[in-house]
Homo-oligomer: A and B are copies of this chain.
């Protein structure tokens, strides 16, 4: 696929986006529901394409985890279809009058929610991202340019086929979902540089993908970044609650970005709390500083790098801190700005933690695992942003839109 072909796809998506921007909610929801039906109807076909991907992945020596991420099953396809139906049920964000006022000279100013235009998604593995991302983007009135990984090429193409056919069936432009079939690195870089065509690029994948996007993207980007999330157990924590929260945050689903990666314990409760935490976290490797190893002598020593690492697995770094300030400093130094929790009954400690910790989400007396579009009540999400511009935290429908000013006058000119 030459650069010209990718640009041509971009132009088609941009043209479809213009049409989609004024499409009614009923048409968009209809497309989502028809796409869900098509996914179910063509499940056998999709699984066959998926087998091609799986066979190739095995031949190429993919890990078991990699193969599992790639695998579709009838259940997984049904979940994809259900997700599209759920998105159809959400309220249409487009057209919302966000705010409005009248100026002294009579100008009436409104800020109106409108689609972004073309949303680019570059992602790895998991074929369900194809329908999840395109569905959410469509609901927000955007055209979507998808660029999945080579490993999932056949699965992605068959899912994109369902989405495009659904758009056509309800009379919307099928180019509202386009797939960049070229999975070369060159094509990826060209994709990230479609200035004037992609209004927002969302990368979903590994560190190396994110790094490539940071280095090469010239279009506006929302980074779905790392989650090096901490749970801080304060001097005034209820220790039973702290234990339940740490266990949940670390082990309920260790492979996701809102799982805890680091435990900070106030020195006044460390001697009591850490042995209980060690028992509760059996199966999790703890890596601690000197003070925590004085209490738990069998755990390994944590390196500087351990504190900066998002393990995404059964490892937890541990540090004993002298006070709240030390906890906040530790998080400022090592945190990735995703989700940071405190367990405490001390109002002032909670208030300071909320104010002074700089992250997309601060959680008081609950598990970091709640930092998720669905759990926070936003509906579906396309990722969790750790950057500060535009979207911070779960990136739901609203974050897939922007706002325009509409100014009504009666002939006013400026003096």
Interface of A toward B, CB cutoff 8 Å? 18, 21-22, 101, 103, 107, 109, 112, 114, 116-117, 195, 199-200, 214-215, 218, 220-222, 238, 241, 244-245, 247-249, 252, 332, 350, 354-356, 358-367, 369-371, 375-377, 387-390, 392-393, 402-415
Contact yes or no, A371 B409, CB < 8 A: no
Provided the pairs A362-B407, A406-B354 are in contact, do residues A220 and B388 lie with their beta carbons within 8 angstroms?
A: yes
Q: A361-B407, A362-B404, A406-B364 are in contact. Are A389 and B222 (CB under 8 A)?
A: yes
Q: How far is the CA of A407 from the CA of B339 in the complex (A)?
A: 10
A195 to B360: give the CA distance in the assembly, Å.
17
Cβ–Cβ contact A414 & B369, under 8 A: yes
Collect the chain B residues with CB atoms within 8 Å of residue A369's CB: 413-414
> How many chain copies does the complex carry?
2
Give Cα distance in the complex from A249 to B409, angstroms: 14
Can you name 23 A-B residue pairings with CB atoms under 8 Å?
A18-B358, A21-B358, A103-B375, A103-B376, A107-B375, A109-B377, A114-B358, A116-B388, A117-B388, A214-B218, A220-B221, A241-B411, A244-B413, A248-B414, A360-B404, A364-B407, A364-B408, A365-B408, A366-B409, A369-B414, A371-B405, A371-B407, A388-B402
Choose one: B222, B356, B405, B411; the contact of A244 (CB below 8 Å): B411
Known: A22-B355, A402-B389. A412 touches B107 (CB 8 A): no
Known: A220-B221, A376-B405. 13 other contacts (CB 8 A): A18-B356, A103-B376, A109-B376, A200-B388, A220-B388, A222-B389, A241-B411, A244-B413, A350-B408, A364-B407, A365-B409, A366-B408, A392-B403
Assess whether B245 is in contact with A389, with CB atoms less than 8 Å apart: no
- Complex: chain B residue closest to A220, CB-CB: B389
* Residues of B close to A107: CB separation below 8 A: 366, 370, 375-376
Bound Cα distance from A411 to B244, whole angstroms: 8
Given the interface pairs A101-B377, A109-B376, the reply to whether A367 lies near B404 with Cβ below 8 Å is: no
Residues of B within 8 A of A358 (CB): 18, 21, 114, 117, 404
Determine the distance from Cα of A413 to Cα of B247 in the docked complex, in whole angstroms: 9
Question: With A222-B389, A388-B200, A389-B389 given, is the CB distance from A407 to B245 under 8 Å?
Answer: no
Shortest C-beta distance, A155 to chain B (Å), equals: 29
Q: Are A413 and B354 in contact (CB under 8 A)?
A: no
Q: Which residues of B contact A406 (CB under 8 A)?
A: 354, 361-362, 364
